[in-house]
Every structure is written in structure tokens, then in C-alpha cells.
Amino acid sequence: MGDETWPFLGTEARAAGRASKRTLRSQYVMLHRNVYLPRGQKLTPVTRAVGAWLWSGRAATVSGRSAAALHGTRWIDAHLPAELIRSQACVADGIVVHRAILTAEDVCAVRGIPTTTPARIAFDLGRRDSPVQAIVAVDALANATGLESVDLEPLVQRHRGMRGIVQLRRVMSLMDRGAESPPETRTRLLLIAAGFPRPRTQILVCDDRGYFIGRLDGVAAVAGRGGVRRSATLD
């Protein structure tokens, strides 16, 4: 990465004269074999992702929640293990390695690191965990990247019959990039489950001449026939 606040390979740092065996032991923490982070530097989902990719010998693709973090997604637990996709199965503490076949359309570069695209991330996350957890994760990703459910359709068509596709379609029907926090997503889902029409998120407020005044952040208006019937604060 060329930044001493980021994870780096000890062998490369020693070869470049930036560190010695002694300084690696005294000034840095070893995340994985040969991967170091400055002592005291906060470990985040992003630094976990970078460290895992370096551990792979730069031969894997960052995926799942780690890829979401690289794309700028918030609300990711920093204690969760990093996620990679690679062709060879292996085991490492603090890293989950998935085996999958990726196409060129599934991968992009973020900070120079091969990373699954937002659509592929949603495709993977939307098939995992419980439906609510999956929607929370996909909402956060969509809020950060502008992802829409239609962006997942090519992947769904290409992987018909894959495990979790039924749940993924449910996630796609309920995802909302306007949700700015997990509580907003969960409250929206509770309203829908209670029989209310689907709430609107991030409502723009304009005056009688159409000029923008502000945005109702964290409020959903539940519209019925004849206009707004009820409203609910999501925060």
C-alpha cells in the first residue's frame, strides 16, 4: 500500500530497508503470517481486508463484508473475520476463504485490490444468514454504492438454482438504498411485516414553489389511498 499505517508484508519491508526483524517485533503487530500492522493502529474491516489479501500473496479476491468495507459500506463489525474468494481451500485464523468461480464482471479494483463488485457482494450476502440480517447488509451496501435490485438480475439469471437464490429474490424485493442505518432497515421491515404499505425513505421536503428545503432523515411515510396515513420515525 505504500503507507505505514496500513498492513504490509514483513519480507517486503525488510527488503526495502524500512524495517528489521527487531522493529517488526517491537513496533508492529503480526495480523497473519508475514503480515504486519503498526502497533496501536486500529484494526478496522478495511485493514482486515487488506491484511487478508496480502496474506493470500495478493492472489485472492476480497469478497463479502470485507469487499463491502472497501467499497465504503458502514456498520460492519470490525471483529468479524476478513473474507476472500480463491480457488484453493485453506484455513487461517481471522480469515474466511470461500471457493467460487468469478467472472470478469464480478471483479473490480478498489485501492488497487481485486474486489468483488457491489452486485456480486449483494449476491453473496443476500443468500447468507437470516433474511433480516441479509437485508440489513445489502441495504448498507446499497446506501454506500447506489446499488439497485436490477443490478443483481444478471447474476441471478446466471446462477439459477444456486443455494439461497429464493432468499436472495426476497432480499432484492425489499432492499432500499435510502436506509442509512441498521435500525432504519429493521424498523422498515417490521412495518411491512405488520401489514403497512412499504415505507418511503429519505423524503425530500420542498416548499409550495418546488424549492428544496430539506430531507427527512430516518423517517418513513406510510402512504395509503388518499395520501399519507401514518408516519414512523426510524431512528
pLDDT tens for each residue of 57-96:
999 999 999 999 999 999 999 999 999 999 887 888 999 9
- Dihedral sign for Cα atoms in the order 73, 121, 235, 200: positive
In this predicted model, what pLDDT tens digit does every residue of 113-160 receive, in sequence order?
999 999 999 999 999 999 999 999 999 999 999 999 999 999 999 999
User: What's the CA gap between 151 and 129, in Å, rounded?
Assistant: 21
Measured CA angle at 159 (ends 155, 160), to 5 deg: 115
pLDDT score of 207: 61
**CA 191, CA 72: separation in Å to the nearest integer?**
28
Q: How confident is the model at residue 231 (pLDDT cuts 50, 70, 90)?
A: very low
Grid cell in block for residue 86: 480463491
For the chain, the DSSP string reads ---TTS-EEHHHHHHTTS--HHHHHHHEEEEETTEEEETTPPP-HHHHHHHHHHHTTS-SEE-HHHHHHHTT-----TTSPEEEE-SS---BTTEEEE-----GGGEEEETTEEEE-HHHHHHHHTTSS-HHHHHHHHHHHHHHH---GGGGHHHHHHTTT-TTHHHHHHHHHH--TT--SHHHHHHHHHHHHTTPPPPB-SEEEE-TT--EEEEETTEEEEEETTEEEEEEE--
Q: How confident is the model at residue 200 (pLDDT cuts 50, 70, 90)?
A: confident
Q: pLDDT-derived band of residue 199, with 50, 70 and 90 as boundaries? A: confident
CA distance 45 to 52: 11
CB contact at 8 A, 41 and 6: no
Per-residue pLDDT for 5 more than 50? yes
Per-residue pLDDT band at 43 (split at 50, 70, 90) = very high
- pLDDT for 87 equals 84
Instruction: Give the pLDDT score at 232.
Output: 40
Instruction: Return the pLDDT at 126.
Output: 98
pLDDT of 32 > 70? The answer is yes
Q: Which of 45, 53, 234 is nearest to 136 (CA)?
A: 234
Confidence of residue 3 (pLDDT cuts 50, 70, 90): low
Please classify residue 133 by burial: count the beta carbons closer than 10 Å to its beta carbon, then call 0-12 exposed, 13-18 middle and 19+ buried. middle
Please, what is the average pLDDT of the chain?
A: 88
**Nearest-angstrom CA–CA distance, 123 and 102:** 12
For residue 197, pLDDT over 70 is answered with yes
Q: What is the mean pLDDT of residues 15-23?
A: 95
57: left (phi over 0), alpha (psi -120 to 50) or beta: left
Beta pairing, strands 95-98 & 82-85: parallel
pLDDT of residue 91: 81
Q: Give per-residue pLDDT as tens, 206-222.
A: 666 666 565 555 444 44
